[in-house]
Chains A and B, each alone.
Chain A
Amino acid sequence: MLLIRCPHCGNRPEIEFHCGGEAHIARPETPSEMTDQHWAEFLYYRTNPKGMHAERWQHRHGCGRWFNALRDTVTDKFAATYEMGSPRPDLAATPAPARTA
């Protein structure tokens, strides 16, 4: 069972959570002035990295709150979880999870 640390409830089983896609994507303040290309990039273009990825998660079957998480897309290990509105943690300060060969 994969445990995910909800910033409010602590470690909880994975099945209580729901992933909401990439984090830190701010809605443009003046959409009407944007080109279709830039609007499409806001709506659909995602980084999809191999490695550390900032994602939105929701503790859907617990406290119900959304939060952000840094997850390694290769190992599925969570490096950090942090509250909505706080900046992405500095990974140099947070050691990345060890990769297995």
Chain B
Amino acid sequence: MSEISVKAVHAFDGLITPVGETRPAGVVVSERTELALAAVLARKRRAGDLAALVANEFGCHLPAPARRTEGRDISVVSTGPGAWLACREAGGYGFAENLAETMQGVASVTDQSDAFAVLRLTGPRVRNVLAKGIHLDLDANVFLPGHAAVTQCGHVGVSLWRLDDLAGGDAAFEIAMFRSYAESFWHWLSVSAAVYGLAVAAGG
């Protein structure tokens, strides 16, 4: 009997590579390989209790529709009525389990860490690239840090949120898609960003 070896593969392994002129690059991409994700769905008539629990446990508001909030060791993105995506840096497989325990009876929690691929996009031309695939107004004064949206990007369903600007002033977005769409999304991104230069930063 042959030995079976299992190797962890990130969604963008073998895809993510610099495109075009990258000195300087207009857009910088990195894969968020260490971000643990969990879907949180409020139980019937328990949304108020869930909000209180999140405030108590993590010190942040449960975000309103189309918003994202950050708390202690967690960030929460609104993905629809009564639905959220909770994220923890380097949360591992324990994240969803712990969250389910914390939210027992108040919300249903499902691990999504391997279901979504998440990219971070920054750089001076990041909005020019996103404008080619996303039909939302992402103007700096309209789509603010802490805003989020579930929409389509290059015909791929995505969750998108804006982070605080980088120290240099560039806007930063994170974009999550179903993992199996990584190749399609990469095709869209690499072609759309080629004209500005797409650099790859270390993931994590």
Contact = CB atoms under 8 A, between A and B. Distances in A.
Given A15-B152, A16-B152, A63-B150, A1 B80 contact: no
Interface of B: 65-66, 79-81, 83, 135-136, 149-152, 157
Q: Is the interface of B mostly helix, strand, loop or mixed?
A: strand
A15 B133 CA distance: 12
B69 to A, nearest CB: 17
A23 to B, nearest CB: 19
Given A15-B135, A61-B157, A63-B81, 14 more contacts: A1-B135, A8-B81, A9-B80, A9-B149, A12-B136, A12-B151, A13-B136, A15-B152, A16-B151, A16-B152, A61-B150, A62-B150, A63-B79, A63-B83
A61 B66 CA distance: 14
> Chain A, interface size: which category?
10 to 19
Q: Which 10 A-B pairs have the closest CB atoms?
A: A63-B80, A13-B135, A61-B152, A8-B81, A62-B150, A8-B65, A61-B157, A9-B66, A9-B65, A64-B80
A65 B83 CA distance: 11
| Interface-central residue, A1, A9, A64, by most chain B CB under 10 Å | A9
Q: Is the interface of A mostly helix, strand, loop or mixed?
A: loop
Contacts of B149: 9, 62
Contacts of B79: 63
Nearest to B81: A8
A63 B83 CA distance: 9
A12 B136 CA distance: 7
Contacts of B65: 8-10, 63
A12 B66 CA distance: 11
Nearest to B83: A63
13 contacts: A8-B81, A9-B65, A9-B66, A10-B66, A13-B151, A15-B152, A16-B135, A16-B151, A61-B151, A61-B152, A63-B81, A63-B150, A65-B80
Contacts of B150: 9, 61-63
Interface in A26-48: none
A12 to B, nearest CB: 7
B80 A62 contact: yes
A83 to B, nearest CB: 9
Contacts of B66: 9-10
